[in-house]
Chains A and B, each alone.
Chain A
């Protein structure tokens, strides 16, 4: 069975600082990769996704992620965070051609101080 690890459970940054959240998955086959965000009181929303092609994907609100197949990683980055980025971030994967059942990591709670 696949699993997803997010190593940072809580991250506190000041505005304008750079962000990198780690995500590693364990599955030897082909996967699709996702980052979801959950703002306080809101539903899970897709930030970005990787299916194939350029391993550097850009999402909404200035976020990007890089798929490194050899490291089984899909880290999320943002050059300069804003207070409004305070939220919980979830990395998720699904196995290609096995239905779109998502396996989520445990989440990273980001707090951005103004």
Chain B
């Protein structure tokens, strides 16, 4: 049973560029959340997708956008990259119908470095 998979594992981009990160949820899960983990800090919630729509959003600018596909996989897009966007980006999946009382499973993350 595949867990949450993310690609790529590492990425280096230049300021001002755009980046797309990808996530495949754990088998049977229909909800995908994205988190940003800066060095030495805990993960911060970016947004959550369910039924191909953004359902919740954290305190991140519109440069951060996403998409969910019919197979439940998801993409995170960041435009106009800033040095401060350098971080580990984590994808977490869960099953919506279990509501809040559900465990989120995390992928290994994509390490983004902006130079």
Q: How far is the CA of A77 from the CA of B44 in the complex (A)?
A: 25
The answer to whether B42 touches A100 (Cβ under 8 A) is no
**Interfacial residues, chain B to chain A (CB-CB below 8 A):** 3-4, 31, 33, 35, 40-45, 48, 55-56, 58, 90, 92, 94, 99-109
A42 / chain B contacts, CB cutoff of 8 Å: 108
The answer to whether A104 touches B42 (Cβ under 8 A) is yes
Q: How far is the CA of A34 from the CA of B44 in the complex (A)?
A: 15
Q: How far is the CA of A107 from the CA of B106 in the complex (A)?
A: 16
Neighbour of B103 across the interface among A6, A49, A97, CB < 8 A: A49
Query: Which chain A residues (62-103) contact chain B, with CB distance < 8 Å?
Result: 90, 92, 94-103
The answer to whether A102 touches B45 (Cβ under 8 A) is yes
The answer to whether A102 touches B100 (Cβ under 8 A) is no
Neighbour of B100 across the interface among A92, A94, A106, CB < 8 A: A94
In the complex, the number of residue pairs spanning A and B with C-beta atoms less than 8 Å apart equals 68
> Mostly helix, strand, loop or mixed at chain B's interface?
loop
Closest to A91 in B: B42
Q: How far is the CA of A103 from the CA of B24 in the complex (A)?
A: 22
Distance from B77 Cβ to chain A, minimum over Cβ atoms (Å):
20
Distance from A81 Cβ to chain B, minimum over Cβ atoms (Å):
21
Neighbour of B101 across the interface among A36, A51, A101, CB < 8 A: A51
Closest to A30 in B: B100
B4 / chain A contacts, CB cutoff of 8 Å: 43
Closest to B59 in A: A1
Distance from B58 Cβ to chain A, minimum over Cβ atoms (Å):
7
The answer to whether B43 touches A100 (Cβ under 8 A) is no
The answer to whether A90 touches B42 (Cβ under 8 A) is yes
Q: Most chain-B Cβ atoms within 10 A of its Cβ — which of A34, A96, A99, A103?
A: A99
B45 / chain A contacts, CB cutoff of 8 Å: 101-103
Q: How far is the CA of A94 from the CA of B41 in the complex (A)?
A: 18
